[in-house]
Amino acid sequence: MKLNQNFEKLQESYLFLNIAQKVSAYQQAHPAGHIIRMGIGDVTRPLAPAVIEAMHKATDEMAHQETFQGYPPAEGQIFLREKIQSYYADRGVTLALSEIIIGDGAKREVGNIVDLFDADNEVLIPDPVYPVYVDTNLMSGRPIRYLPATEQDGFLPLPDGDTKGDIIYLCSPNNPTGAVYDRQGLQAWVNFALEQDAVILFDAAYESFISEEKLPRSIFEIPGADRCAIEFCSFSKTAGFTGMRCGYTVISNRLQIGGVRVNQLWARRQSTKFNGVSYITQRAAEAVFTVEGRRQIKETINYYRDNAKLMADSFRDMGIRFTGGENSPYIWHRCPDGMSSWDYFDYLLENAEVVGTPGSGFGQNGEGYFRLTAFGNKEKTAEAMERIRKLLK
Amino acid sequence: MKLNQNFEKLQESYLFLNIAQKVSAYQQAHPAGHIIRMGIGDVTRPLAPAVIEAMHKATDEMAHQETFQGYPPAEGQIFLREKIQSYYADRGVTLALSEIIIGDGAKREVGNIVDLFDADNEVLIPDPVYPVYVDTNLMSGRPIRYLPATEQDGFLPLPDGDTKGDIIYLCSPNNPTGAVYDRQGLQAWVNFALEQDAVILFDAAYESFISEEKLPRSIFEIPGADRCAIEFCSFSKTAGFTGMRCGYTVISNRLQIGGVRVNQLWARRQSTKFNGVSYITQRAAEAVFTVEGRRQIKETINYYRDNAKLMADSFRDMGIRFTGGENSPYIWHRCPDGMSSWDYFDYLLENAEVVGTPGSGFGQNGEGYFRLTAFGNKEKTAEAMERIRKLLK
């Protein structure tokens, strides 16, 4: 019996676990402290009333023989997939129901999708980026090539003559940098993928934070993407579902590799290793798309957007360069005085009791940067910015 | 870009998908028919009132800022893990909280666990058995050795001098045969695994159907199992959670391979590829362990047990040999007149409008056998047995 040796390539523990341990140690040493958490990208506002109502109703259905629901369909409930179909149609993207598959969150789906690909494929991953892309490929033994994202390119790297890769990860609005590709940028990647016979794994988890009409919220707004891209989306940031677990994957019927329809392969994987998403959760997600639901989640997103604006304004005032803050819940900035990311983490924790995320946790090019999130309480966000302003003055 | 070639080794589609398609075709041809479904092992009774109450309460918590819950811990909520700890303690099994990890169902966890093991390990899988064990290992390219389970050994094969394997799947009470290992049988497997440095993946999804006190409900009741076994359990059959998605995995701190604690490796995998189970679902699962909850789920299990007894009595009357029906929700019997499993499936569907599961779908040794489940409605179960009796008379 041998363990999967690929696990040895992983860093000792997961970024957010490290942060949690550091924060917990600080708290034990300073029980009277008032820590403000702007680290992990978890939401804090309650679920929308329309969602709550749908959950109570679904719960009552589970209480009666006639309306009880057993195993959900592995690909998701039709009622929810139809709503997502309309959501895309509103943006001019036409999808068949077979192209929309419900899952329990973008993190899991973006991790599981690699099951479909041979271990020999070379993976192209921007650096810095959400660590799950790297770790899931390390675990399954795929060679990784890093694509540097830097301040010079606005953290939005584009393919050039030297770019290579069979599987390309793109995340826009980006986690951690908050940078958002425009149509031209995504078109360049789609063209590259089509030319190179590569697949783009497009993480759109933060799409609902895009407020500028001209920016694409789905890669399927880009011509040709249906033949080379898979999109991952989540209700976590759109509707505060981090504690609910629901997302979806879009794979066009036109995405075929070696004559195999990739969404059929995904359906085969899901029917074997998945038993669908809880009925109540899917009813809750459906409610997000009602008139009331849409209005209510927009209020919440605007609440977080106001936080992001307040943070962006503060950084601008302080003369600190950053990306994000607009069209994104993240503010990504250089650590002051040339501090390393973890040094700045400790400095902020110990002197301002503000918790952020060290940029180096997102890759080598993140070293010297820092991520703060706008998902907190308004008053606390203002207080945190005040503390940072005083500290860095 | 190459797809994972291992998918080509899988059969075209999943057993239950085939059944669903056949049933659907029959229904279209006979719209006035009254099909009774005893095929897929899905439950039909509503959730326990204590569970429903907990879900309403948890939903209300999600509606308010102060009690809102974001990302759940990847390893599960402490409140639920403590309840499971007590549940095991009641049977004399002492577990640390770190040994209990919450997941969203046994199917998924038993499929995902293979991520931890090298692709070179040889897998030993009883035949017939739950198809997920085979398919998940085919997908990840592990060599499989089948262990024949036959009527002669009561469908409870034991290791002998020729038995080999690094990863051994055991399911007791068994799906599909309903057979249950006694202590001696499980001890033989534990001894084998310890001698051979193998790991047992023990699927205990049906443990709550065991009514005989002397039969083990957990492999951890067997001395030495903590050093060689991983147990998968589910709320699906215990508390009717098929539509809820919750289960748990037990890995002892004493299970180490090459100096690595397997539950730490599992935690590392989960923190990367999983974001925990919905808060509401975990509160629902917690309610299963309250005094009221326990009483209520016992009533439901007894309802299904009564169905199983009725089915077993009918088969006995008809002189048809079977396993299961006691300590199990499944009745596994030989097809009459030497019919093949799929022929008998069609024969029953067309002449009695009863849907079961062809034994051959569970492996080569299942050919000529058939599985019926006791998870249906009492009146319909009686009606189905009456129809079968008339047909086979």
CB-based contacts of A366, cutoff 8 Å, min separation 6? A127, A128, A176, A341, A358, A359, A360
A276 and B10 within 8 Å at the Cβ level: the answer is: no
Type of residue numbered B376: G
Candidates A306, A322, A365, A341; CA nearest to A178 is A322
Residue of chain A with shortest Cα separation from B132: A272
Judge if A298 and A244 occupy the same domain.
Answer: no
Residue of chain A with shortest Cα separation from B50: A63
The string of DSSP letters for A11-38 reads -SS-HHHHHHHHHHHHHHH-TT---EE-
Judge if A37 and A146 occupy the same domain.
Answer: no
Comparing CB atoms, the residue among A17, A44, A197 nearest residue B68 is: A44
Judge if B162 and B102 occupy the same domain.
Answer: yes
Comparing CB atoms, the residue among B1, B70, B140 nearest residue A43 is: B70
Q: Is A115 helix (H, G, I), strand (E, B) or coil?
A: helix
- Cβ atoms of residues B38 and B354 within 8 Å: yes
pLDDT, tens digit (0-9, with 9 covering 90-100), for B249-270 = 999 999 999 999 999 999 999 9
Among residues A289, A313, A340, the one where a domain terminates is A289
- Give the per-residue pLDDT at B20: 87
B47 and A60 within 8 Å at the Cβ level: the answer is: no
Judge if B177 and B275 occupy the same domain.
Answer: yes
Nearest CA of chain B to the CA of A72: how many Å? Answer: 6
How much is the mean pLDDT over chain B? 96
Supply the CATH number for residue A302's domain.
3.90.1150.10
B120 and A2 within 8 Å at the Cβ level: the answer is: yes
Q: Which two tokens stand for residue B252?
A: 């002892």
Residue of chain B with shortest Cα separation from A196: B1
- Give the per-residue pLDDT at A12: 62
B257 and A2 within 8 Å at the Cβ level: the answer is: yes
Cα first-last separation, chain B: 58
Comparing CB atoms, the residue among A112, A118, A199 nearest residue B5 is: A118
Mean pLDDT for B87-97 is 97
**What is the three-state SS of B69-82?**
CCCCCCCCCHHHHH
Candidates A144, A275, A286; CA nearest to B235 is A275
Judge if A263 and A302 occupy the same domain.
Answer: no
B257 and A5 within 8 Å at the Cβ level: the answer is: no
B242 and A115 within 8 Å at the Cβ level: the answer is: no
Report residue B367's pLDDT band, with 50, 70 and 90 as the boundaries: very high
**Would you say residue A267 lies in a domain?**
yes
**Would you say residue A348 lies in a domain?**
yes
B139 and A42 within 8 Å at the Cβ level: the answer is: no
CB < 8 Å to B140, chain A: 115
A68 and B1 within 8 Å at the Cβ level: the answer is: no
Residue of chain A with shortest Cα separation from B272: A132
Separation CA A111–CA B56 (nearest Å): 32
Q: Is B333 helix (H, G, I), strand (E, B) or coil?
A: strand
Encode A28-37: b = buried (16+ Cβ within 10 Å), e = exposed. eeeeeeebbb
Comparing CB atoms, the residue among B198, B244, B278 nearest residue A243 is: B278
Nearest CA of chain A to the CA of B118: how many Å? Answer: 4
CB atoms within 10 A of CB B191: 15
Nearest CA of chain B to the CA of A123: how many Å? Answer: 10
Candidates A330, A327, A317, A338; CA nearest to A381 is A330
Comparing CB atoms, the residue among B10, B69, B117 nearest residue A3 is: B117
Nearest CA of chain B to the CA of A214: how many Å? Answer: 31
CB < 8 Å to B18, chain A: none
Type of residue numbered A61: E
**Would you say residue A335 lies in a domain?**
yes
Report residue B76's pLDDT band, with 50, 70 and 90 as the boundaries: very high
Residue of chain B with shortest Cα separation from A114: B4
B1 and A166 within 8 Å at the Cβ level: the answer is: yes
- The pTM is what? 0.96
B115 and A244 within 8 Å at the Cβ level: the answer is: no
B70 and A275 within 8 Å at the Cβ level: the answer is: no
Nearest CA of chain A to the CA of B111: how many Å? Answer: 6
Nearest CA of chain A to the CA of B138: how many Å? Answer: 11
Judge if B181 and B262 occupy the same domain.
Answer: yes
Tokens 């959400």, residue located: A130
Q: Which DSSP state fits B368?
A: T
A272 and B139 within 8 Å at the Cβ level: the answer is: yes
Mean pLDDT for B136-160 is 96
CB < 8 Å to B265, chain A: 3, 7
**Would you say residue B277 lies in a domain?**
yes
Total structural domains within chain B: 2
A275 and B68 within 8 Å at the Cβ level: the answer is: no
Mean pLDDT for B66-93 is 96
A59 and B52 within 8 Å at the Cβ level: the answer is: yes
**Would you say residue B234 lies in a domain?**
yes
Q: Which two tokens stand for residue A328?
A: 């994104």
Judge if B300 and B278 occupy the same domain.
Answer: no
Q: Say which range, A9-13, A257-261, B104-108, B348-352, has the weakest mean pLDDT.
A: A9-13
The count of residues in chain A is 393
A17 and B271 within 8 Å at the Cβ level: the answer is: yes
Nearest CA of chain B to the CA of A149: how many Å? Answer: 23
**Would you say residue B163 lies in a domain?**
yes
- Give the per-residue pLDDT at B356: 96
B60 and A42 within 8 Å at the Cβ level: the answer is: no
Nearest CA of chain A to the CA of B240: how many Å? Answer: 8
Among residues A289, A314, A346, the one where a domain terminates is A289
Judge if B257 and B140 occupy the same domain.
Answer: yes
Judge if B64 and B150 occupy the same domain.
Answer: yes
B104 and A105 within 8 Å at the Cβ level: the answer is: no
Number of CB pairs, chain A paired with chain B, less than 8 A apart: 231
Best A5, A270, A272, A297 member to test B by mutation, with max B CBs in 10 Å, is A272
Comparing CB atoms, the residue among B55, B68, B277 nearest residue A46 is: B68
Whether residue B161 has pLDDT greater than 90: no
Nearest CA of chain B to the CA of A146: how many Å? Answer: 18
**Would you say residue B4 lies in a domain?**
no
B107 and A274 within 8 Å at the Cβ level: the answer is: yes
- Give the per-residue pLDDT at B1: 92
**Would you say residue B353 lies in a domain?**
yes
Question: ipTM for the complex?
Answer: 0.95
Q: Say which range, A2-11, A302-311, B56-65, B384-393, has the weakest mean pLDDT.
A: A2-11
Nearest CA of chain B to the CA of A316: how many Å? Answer: 30
Q: In A49-139, which ranges are continuous DSSP H helix? A: 49-62, 78-89, 106-112, 131-139
Among residues A233, A265, A289, the one where a domain terminates is A289
Range of the domain at A387: 13-42+294-392
Q: What is the pLDDT along chain A (393 residues), one digit of tens a residue?
A: 999 999 988 876 567 778 889 999 999 999 999 999 998 889 999 999 999 999 999 999 999 999 999 999 999 999 999 999 999 999 999 999 999 999 999 999 999 999 999 999 999 999 999 999 999 999 999 999 999 999 999 999 999 989 999 999 999 999 999 999 999 999 999 999 999 999 999 999 999 999 999 999 999 999 999 999 999 999 999 999 999 999 999 999 999 999 999 999 999 999 899 999 999 999 999 999 999 999 999 999 999 999 999 999 999 999 999 999 999 999 999 999 999 999 999 999 999 999 999 999 999 999 999 999 999 999 999 999 999 999 998
- Give the per-residue pLDDT at B306: 98
Judge if B54 and B105 occupy the same domain.
Answer: yes
A280 and B55 within 8 Å at the Cβ level: the answer is: yes
A198 and B1 within 8 Å at the Cβ level: the answer is: yes
- Give the per-residue pLDDT at B119: 94
Judge if A212 and A272 occupy the same domain.
Answer: yes
Judge if B110 and B232 occupy the same domain.
Answer: yes
List the beta strands (DSSP E) in chain A.
36-37, 100-103, 123-127, 144-148, 167-171, 199-203, 229-234, 247-251, 256-257, 260-261, 322-324, 330-334, 354-355, 357-358, 369-373
Separation CA B272–CA B10 (nearest Å): 27
Residue of chain A with shortest Cα separation from B277: A245
Comparing CB atoms, the residue among A72, A118, A268 nearest residue B2 is: A118
B243 and A120 within 8 Å at the Cβ level: the answer is: no
Supply the CATH number for residue A130's domain.
3.40.640.10
